Amino acid sequence: MKNLFSHLRSLLARSWAFNRTLTLALLLHLALLPLALALIFLDPKIITGMTAWIKPTKFAISGAIYLATFGWFLSHVQRGRRWTGFAATGVGVALLVEIALITLQVVRGVPSHFNSTTPFDAAVFSVMGLFIFFLMLINLLLAIWLIFQKLPERTFAWALRWGAIIAFAGMGVGSLMPAPTADQMARLEAGEVVPAMGAHSVGVADGGPGLPLLGWSTQGGDLRAAHFVGLHGMQIIPLAAWLLSRRRLRARLSEGQRLALLHLAGIGYLGLTGLLTWQALRGQSVIAPDGLTWAAYAGLLGVLALGAVGVWFAQAATFREAATKLRM
């Protein structure tokens, strides 16, 4: 336990030396988490069909994970180092503004997202949108930086690139949410005042029956599923690279084969994000895909399986060639 705390202190010190704003944002997200968790049980407010403090809890967790991961990704950028400080500071500020405004609206007892009930509420959501758009641009810049980095391990290098690209795609899904729904457009055209502009859900109103904690609609499409999956590509794809680097696999697979499997993982994960987006836009709940959606998922899985089989046969051919040379 003492070694763990010593390691965490060392990581924190290095993070603080790297960028204070990003580290402060991370610490504030972590500090908010226990408070928000406690208020889930202490504060009875309900906002958009869900216990009010669940949203700050989810955003505190996801924000802390993103900040830590983004800082780690930036630490591998060698070219353009003078810009990495700007990127780290920008991400820290953007997520601080987002979590602060989400918490403010929960304290006020009103929705933070898509709320156009009053000019103040609309301004809050607009400010959040501007900062998240800025965050999206920085994430794209990170992906571009990583493409031009020369890292010693190709599989790990491509894991970082894929992770940043997929996270950008996940953020792109989020940019679809503020668009007015068909019902909202009809009400606007009729000259009515619309209290919400945009939605997470497709085909149903926000706030209906949803999955526990996540809140994703169980009756219609929900873009949050694809948004969530895409954002966490920054953790999942590097994890895949780490698994491929384990001693047993390194002994059985060449660097080229491990790289091929990593590319398959990146393509598959990006494909999953795309299919979840397509499913949501067609008004289907994430837990109720129709036959066409199942066929699309099966097709993606089939392509990945064929690719993995191809890598396996390439490995077998390599072993046969090596054995032949030994006999000679």
- In three-state form (DSSP H/G/I as H, E/B as E, the rest C), the secondary structure along the chain is CHHHHHHHHHHHHHHHHHCHHHHHHHHHHHHHHHHHHHHHHHCCCEECCEECCHHHHHHHHHHHHHHHHHHHHHCCCCCCHHHHHHHHHHHHHHHHHHHHHHHHHHHHCCCCCCECCCHHHHHHHHHHHHHHHHHHHHHHHHHHHHHCCCCCCHHHHHHHHHHHHHHHHHHHHHCCCCCCCHHHHHHHHCCCCCCECCCCEECCCCCCCECCCCCCECCCEECHHHHHHHHCHHHHHHHHHHHHCCHHHHHHCCHHHHHHHHHHHHHHHHHHHHHHHHHHHCCCCCCCCCHHHHHHHHHHHHHHHHHHHHHHHHHHHHHHHHHHHHHC
Partners of 77 in beta bridges = none
Distance, CA of 248 to CA of 251 (rounded, Å): 5
Look over the chain and give the mean of its residue pLDDT values, rounded to a whole number.
Answer: 89
**Cα-atom radius of gyration of the chain, to the nearest Å?**
23
What pLDDT score does 56 carry?
A: 95
Q: What is the pLDDT of residues 28-39, one digit of tens each?
A: 999 999 999 999
**pLDDT (0 to 100) of residue 320:** 45
Express each pLDDT in 39-90 by its tens digit: 999 999 999 888 999 999 999 999 999 999 999 999 888 776 678 889 999 9
In which region does residue 7 sit, left (phi positive, over 0), alpha (psi from -120 to 50) or beta (all else)? alpha
The token pair at 10 is: 């060392």
Q: What is the pLDDT of residue 1?
A: 59
Query: Which residue, among 123, 69, 124, has the nearest Cα to 100 in the 3D structure?
Result: 124
pLDDT at 256: 87
If you average pLDDT over residues 160-186, what whole number do you get? 92
pLDDT at 327: 45
Residues 85-97 have a mean pLDDT of 94
Q: Tens of pLDDT along 270-324?
A: 999 999 999 999 999 999 999 999 999 999 999 999 998 988 877 655 544 444 4
Which residues, including other chains, have CB under 8 Å from residue 121's CB and lie 6 or more apart? 105, 110, 111, 115
pLDDT at 71 (0 to 100)? 93
pLDDT at 84: 87
pLDDT of residue 80: 66
- As a whole-number percent, the residues of the chain with pLDDT over 90 amount to 65
- For residue 29, give the amino acid letter: H
- The residue type found at 261 is L
Q: Model-level pTM? A: 0.90
Is the confidence at residue 185, as pLDDT, over 90? no
Q: Which among 159, 180, 138 has a CA at the least distance from the CA of 19?
A: 138
Give me 8's structure tokens.
């965490």
